[in-house]
Structure 1
Amino acid sequence: MQKQSAHFSFGNETEIEDLGNGLKRQMLGYNEELMAVKIWFEKGAIGYNHAHRHSQVTYVVEGEFHFNIDGVTKILKPGDSCLIPPFADHGATCPTGGILIDTFSPAREDFLED
């Protein structure tokens, strides 16, 4: 894993990775302890349930998301956020299309692998 991103990141110069299935990801900044990522969901896209060792806070920038964390589902809209503890089963669907900012601690090493 690279140790950290550049100190400044410009949205129009930073790669946007197409993850498939209506999802795109852009790295905003990271070091070994913290990572922020912007995620675009097309209308109807699903972030399938999964779990990982990282603490995660997600902030809804745009759209409506149906978030499931350990079997509890809530509808989140712009300005809302959620905390996902380590190893919690979680996922989201986006019926409208939208944008999230995900933060992780420590950084998601798997997002940086070639």
Structure 2
Amino acid sequence: ISKGAAIPVHSHPHEQTGIMLSGKLRFTVEGEVIDIESGDSWCLPGGVEHSAEALEDCVVIEVFSPVREDYLP
């Protein structure tokens, strides 16, 4: 994720789990601001409103359950 990239407020029915490999990301989860740095992980239940802003260039791994059909080729 490139520095300055913004993901607008949204929600989805999928559980979202991730780990930050490098960089810094600011999550806003149901109004709470959380800064995520290298080595941090997160798990958001489905249906939770959230947004994000990349404070630095970031490398993340995210897993969604169930599979997000909109991410399939």
Residue 31 of structure 2 corresponds to residue 50 of structure 1: no
Residues 1-114 of structure 1 correspond to what in structure 2 (within 5 A)?
Answer: 41-112=1-72
Higher relative contact order (CA 8 A, sep 6+): 2
- Runs of 4+, deviation exceeding 6 Å: none
**Partners of 2:30 and 2:43 in 1: CA distance:** 12
Letter of the aligned partner of 1:99 in structure 2? V
Letter of the aligned partner of 1:44 in structure 2? G
CA-based RMSD of the aligned residues comes to 1.1
Higher-Rg structure is: 1
What is the TM-score when the length of structure 2 is the normalising length?
Answer: 0.92
Structure 2 gap ranges (5+): none
| Count of aligned pairs between the two proteins | 73
Shift of 1:62: 0.8
**Partners of 1:43 and 1:52 in 2: CA distance:** 24
